[in-house]
Copies of this chain bind each other. A is one copy, B any other.
Amino acid sequence: MAQSDTVERILDAAASLFAERGFAETSLRMITSEANVNLAAVNYHFGSKKSLIQAVFSRFLSPLSAELNERLALLRQATSDITAQQLVGCLFESLMASTEKEGENPAQFMQLLALAYAQTQEHLRHYIMAEHGASYVEFTRLLREALPDIEPDVFYWRLCFMLGASMFTLSAFDSISGILKSDYGKETSVDDAVALLIPAVIGMLESSK
With A156-B179, A197-B161, A200-B161 known as contacts, the answer to whether A168 contacts B169 (CB < 8 A) is no
A119, CB-defined interface residue at 8 Å: yes
| CB of A108, distance to nearest CB on chain B (Å) | 12
What residues of B have a CB within 8 angstroms of the CB of A22 in the complex? 22-24, 118-120
A158, CB-defined interface residue at 8 Å: yes
Among A24, A168, A207, max chain B CB count under 10 A is at A168
Whether the pair A157, B193 counts as a contact (CB closer than 8 A) is: yes
| CB of A188, distance to nearest CB on chain B (Å) | 6
What residues of B have a CB within 8 angstroms of the CB of A168 in the complex? 117, 160-161, 163-165, 167-168
What residues of B have a CB within 8 angstroms of the CB of A1 in the complex? none
What residues of B have a CB within 8 angstroms of the CB of A153 in the complex? 180, 184, 186, 188
Whether the pair B164, A167 counts as a contact (CB closer than 8 A) is: yes
A204, CB-defined interface residue at 8 Å: yes
Enumerate chain A interface residues (CB-CB to B < 8 A). 20-25, 111, 114-115, 117-120, 152-154, 156-158, 160-169, 171-172, 176, 179-180, 183-184, 186, 188, 193, 196-197, 199-201, 203-204, 207, 209
Instruction: Say whether chain A's binding surface is mostly helix, strand, loop, or mixed.
Output: helix
Known contacts A165-B204, A168-B168, A203-B209; 15 additional CB pairs below 8 A are A21-B119, A21-B120, A22-B23, A22-B118, A22-B119, A115-B119, A117-B118, A118-B118, A152-B183, A153-B184, A156-B176, A156-B179, A160-B168, A164-B165, A203-B207
| CB of A167, distance to nearest CB on chain B (Å) | 6
| CB of A136, distance to nearest CB on chain B (Å) | 14
Whether the pair A196, B157 counts as a contact (CB closer than 8 A) is: yes
Whether the pair B164, A196 counts as a contact (CB closer than 8 A) is: no
How far is B22's CA from A207's CA once the two chains are assembled, in angstroms? Answer: 35
What residues of B have a CB within 8 angstroms of the CB of A162 in the complex? 165
What residues of B have a CB within 8 angstroms of the CB of A204 in the complex? 165, 200, 203-204
Closest to A188 in B: B153
Closest to A199 in B: B209
